[in-house]
Amino acid sequence: MYARAASVPEAVREIISGNTIYLQSLQLGIANYTALAQKIKPDVEKITGSKVNVNTVVVAIKRFADALEAKDSPAATFKGARMSLTDNIIDVDFEKEFDEISGLLDQLFDKNYSVFQTGQHLRLFAEDIAETRGMVNSATKKFDGKIRVGLAKINIQLASGDSNPYDVLSMVSNILYNNQISIQDAFFTPTEIVLILSDRDAARAYELLRTRMK
């Protein structure tokens, strides 16, 4: 099952990192180290290729938990930030000249949407409602647009001067990575971070990030 022998700390890190429940219990500070050590001891022995003492596993878990706490507690905070979640989002990628697309954006003026331009692409994220979908379908045929569905958007508005956007972005990335949540796209400015995720992950991601705003 396992390709190589490893040390006990390496085995513990591999097992816990691959199990969302174990990882979250450590991050939330609700794990019983002894009970967890007894639970994962057989797998630790498989990975290390030798018998191990449960107390050794406990020590390795404690060190891993300390490392997680240090990694997940940067100086950045969400102080003063405002966050919103919008589900049922469509992502439209335009690849042609963008001047004429301004007409589409004018039509979407009173709708909930975000636009980002990178290189030769313009990305439009909008709520997938009937009126918007009709506009977008027409525009994609005219401007070679590609549509992705089944997405959600988390928007984080940072209070100017209160947080370094790069530190906050790093913290957000760590939280989502540690909880095995994939980001489909991300865009940020000095005062705003926009995360595009799948619908199935968005609510959990929102709650994980929201707890850091308290």
Burial 150-166 (b: 16+ CB within 10 A, else e): ebbbbbbebeeeebebe
Domains and CATH numbers, the chain: 8-71 (no CATH), 82-213 (3.30.2130.10)
The residue that leads in pLDDT, 45 or 90, is 45
Q: For CA atoms 41, 44, 49, 53, give the dihedral sign.
A: negative
Give Cβ neighbours of residue 124 (< 8 Å, ≥ 6 apart).
Answer: 91, 92, 94, 104, 105, 113, 114, 115, 136
DSSP state of 100: G
State the chain's mean pLDDT as an integer: 76
Please write the tens of the pLDDT for every residue from 48-64. Answer: 989 999 999 999 999 98
Read off the pTM. 0.54
- Predicted confidence at residue 53, as pLDDT, reads 94
- Predicted confidence at residue 2, as pLDDT, reads 43
DSSP state of 99: G
DSSP state of 122: E
CA 173/CA 77 separation, integer angstroms? 13
Coil, strand, or helix at residue 1?
coil
Please write the tens of the pLDDT for every residue from 61-91. Answer: 999 888 877 655 544 456 678 888 988 887 7
131: alpha, beta or left? (left if phi > 0; alpha if psi -120 to 50): alpha
CA 31/CA 64 separation, integer angstroms? 12
Tell me the range of 77-81, 117-121, 195-199 where mean pLDDT is highest.
195-199
Strands 185-189 and 146-157: unpaired
- Predicted confidence at residue 185, as pLDDT, reads 83
- Residue 31 above 80 pLDDT? yes
Q: Report the DSSP beta bridge partners of residue 127.
A: 89
